[in-house]
Structure 1
Amino acid sequence: MDTVLIEGDITAQRVDAIVNAANSSLLGGGGVDGAIHRRGGPAILAECRALRASRYGRGLPTGQAVATTAGELPARWVVHTVGPVFSPREDRSALLRDCYANSLRIADELGAARVAFPLISAGIYGWPVEDAVTQALTVLHAATPAHVVEARVVLFGADTYATAVRVAAGLS
């Protein structure tokens, strides 16, 4: 599987599955989550409400992933995952890696060939960008999915992209 870094808007990615850095309610929010719900339209929210009414009455647990339609996005599916809030006192990096691994597994089970990931937890959840990139690339570089041939990490903003490129070069 190829892993590529792209600067841009995740909602504009023409892929099979877009990963959403969701909150546990699955009902939309700010940042990536809000952008995906706004651009994808009401079909995504309708499926998220159905998931809350059935399997996830208490919300989607941190590190887990679940798929819905992509609505009006240029993709077939949205894979929602809940990243951990960063804590300087508690190592939650395993939960962050679980977000990538579980999202990739769900996308692969759906038969997705191309998947776009945001930098999970690096926004309002406060995860330091350098470490968020390291956690993402550690999982994606080690993965051997059956169907996914490309994982895109879509980075919002030139500074975040430049940091990701620097971190990726150091991991090579």
Structure 2
Amino acid sequence: MTSPVQLIRPRRFGDARGWFTETYNRDAFAAIGIDCAFVQDNHSLSVPAFTLRGLHFQTPPAGQDKLVRCIRGRIFDVAVDLRRGSPTYGQWVGAELSAENGDQLFIPIGFAHGFVTLEPDCEVTYKCSGLYAPANDGGIAWDSVGIDWPIPAGVTPELSEKDKVQPALSDFDSPFDYDGRPLAPLA
């Protein structure tokens, strides 16, 4: 049984010109247990270093699986288990995603997603399995989960007004159900 959150390392084929990689292939992803149809692509630019976006999700029936990658710069990307009844509820996993390493993080429905930029001018793209639904837009406070964010001491992350007022995890009543797959460390 695979972990619901997966770190994906697409293979790069390089030569004197640079490299080529396949970032998504429906059949290859289905073979590793990721069997969703993506319907929306998002792209963000964060100019200041230590911009923090998250922790976000969409509630049922408009949940979104996400496939996240950093195409410029470096980010620390996280997923937090929000599935009620899960033995790993409230736990998180994270990985550095960068333009250089090409790694991607798959975050299924039932998990909050967020990231912090580790340098200026970071661009992040992600595929979503559901369309944006403002009535189902949700979040929890970035500092209420115990995430070990790689933010230097004394630095306050750049936050949106929305992210400054998200509820703490302890005040969150989850609408997500546990599917029998506990969160596992990223490989």
Structure number having the greater helix percentage: 1
Structure number having the greater strand percentage: 2
TM above 0.5, one fold?
Answer: no
TM-score by length of 2: 0.28
TM-score by length of 1: 0.29
Q: Which of these two proteins has the greater Rg computed from alpha carbons?
A: 2
